[in-house]
Amino acid sequence: MDSLRINKIVADNGLPKFRKGQLTKAFFSEAVDSFNEITTFSKDLREKLTEQENVLTVTLHKLYSSTAKNAHKALLKLEDGKLIETVLLNPKPGLWTTCISSQIGCALACDFCATGTMGWIRNLTSEEITDQVLFWRFFMKQELKDIQLNNVVYMGMGEPLHNKKEVFKSLDELMNPDTFNMGARHLSVSTVGLLPAMKELTDKYPQVNLAISFHAPNDEIRLGMMPINKPYPIDKLLEGIAYHLDKTNRKIFIEYILLDGKNDSEANAFELGRKLKTLGKKHLIHINLIVYNKTDKDLEATSRDQAQLFKRKIEEQGLSITIRKNLGRDIHGACGQLALKEPNSVKATRSSIEEILK
């Protein structure tokens, strides 16, 4: 459900304009999840709308909750029968974040990411993207009572900027004061660095948080992990980051997954810090270290001691850095683990990087 569909419901059914406000209030302010619960509508109208419309473009297929109850993963079925995953996380008391998907699968095939093993099936529509947020709002009202959703991160299945048109529309909807009414600074988009789209995101949404999947200190290592490094090597990526910093004067987040023996040495930490310091504005750079979450790939996580050593070597260079708390590992809902244990029946495509960049 979004503003466009509410307008369509009102127009298609010849309803008076004030019904738009009632529908909007019910779904977005009161988190009502069915037409039958909109008591300002007559019984006949509620039944008619229930028969002809679904409130959401997604339905719950399976729900997984972590033992600590600080992470929930939903396997959602779309109207064409395909499946996606989305996660709700509680990293600290009073703070709830949803990690949403922008595609079914992903074409970029990053070595450490389970979603990349699926290939790419299709892009999600703007409504399918924002309906994941609405789904969790309904869930939180029913299961968590008065707790509110604080943040939305585009870090689920897919590369958001490979689906730029629909992702941008979904950002507009999430910031729409009449519907989701979320502030730009509570929204984050993560990208491997599709530079033209990244610059467009910076220009259109300078207050939206930007996270960069960096993951290696040099081109040789990064290309072995991320095929996108061929058209967009680190020097070009740094140019895109510099553009964002100059344009917004806001903090940027550098995502760096630690893999044992691949990118986690002291020398790697020094080289990463040296490259990031060439940007200047050290106070606007924050590095998120991600301890690798096991997937089917033949990769191993860096040890806790080595991760702490890497962190110290970055801090010694005057850069801000934290080790991200990995929530939801026991439900395969942690960073890099979304890959659908019940795969879609449609065969995924394996696009080349050249095809992706068209």
Residue 337: its pLDDT value, please?
44
Tens of pLDDT, residues 111-120: 888 887 888 9
Q: Kindly indicate the confidence band of residue 49, based on its pLDDT and cuts at 50, 70 and 90.
A: very high
Active site residue 106: no
Q: Are 117 and 298 in contact (CB under 8 A)?
A: no
Q: What is the domain class of 1-55 according to CATH? A: mainly alpha
Q: What pLDDT does residue 357 have?
A: 57
What pLDDT is stored for residue 338 in this prediction? 47
Task: State the pLDDT at residue 68.
Answer: 84
User: What mean pLDDT do residues 217-245 have?
Assistant: 97
Residue 93 buriedness (CB in 10 A; 0-12 / 13-18 / 19+) = exposed
3-state secondary structure of 252: strand
Predicted confidence band at 296 (pLDDT cuts at 50, 70, 90)? low
131-135, 222-226, 349-353: least confidently modelled range = 349-353
Of 79, 85, 113, 239, which residue is the catalytic one? 85
Is 143 a catalytic site residue?
A: no
Whether pLDDT at 14 is above 80? yes
Q: Which CATH code, of 3.40.50.300, 1.10.3720.10, 3.20.20.70, 3.30.300.10, is assigned to 57-342?
A: 3.20.20.70
Q: Where are the domains of the chain?
A: 1-55, 57-342
Per-residue confidence (pLDDT) for residue 326, from 0 to 100: 67
pLDDT band at 196 (very low <50, low <70, confident <90, very high): very high
Q: What is the pLDDT of residue 66?
A: 86
Whether residue 36 contacts residue 292, with contact meaning beta carbons closer than 8 Å, is answered with no
Question: How confident is the model at residue 113, as a pLDDT?
Answer: 87
Q: Do domains 1-55 and 57-342 have the same CATH topology?
A: no
Cα 202 from chain centroid (whole Å): 17
Q: What is the mean pLDDT of the chain?
A: 91
Crossing angle, helix 195-204 and helix 164-174, to 10 degrees? 20
Q: Which of 79, 315, 335, 354 is catalytic?
A: 335
pLDDT above 90 covers a percentage of the chain that reads 80
Is the Cβ–Cβ distance between 106 and 163 less than 8 Å?
A: no
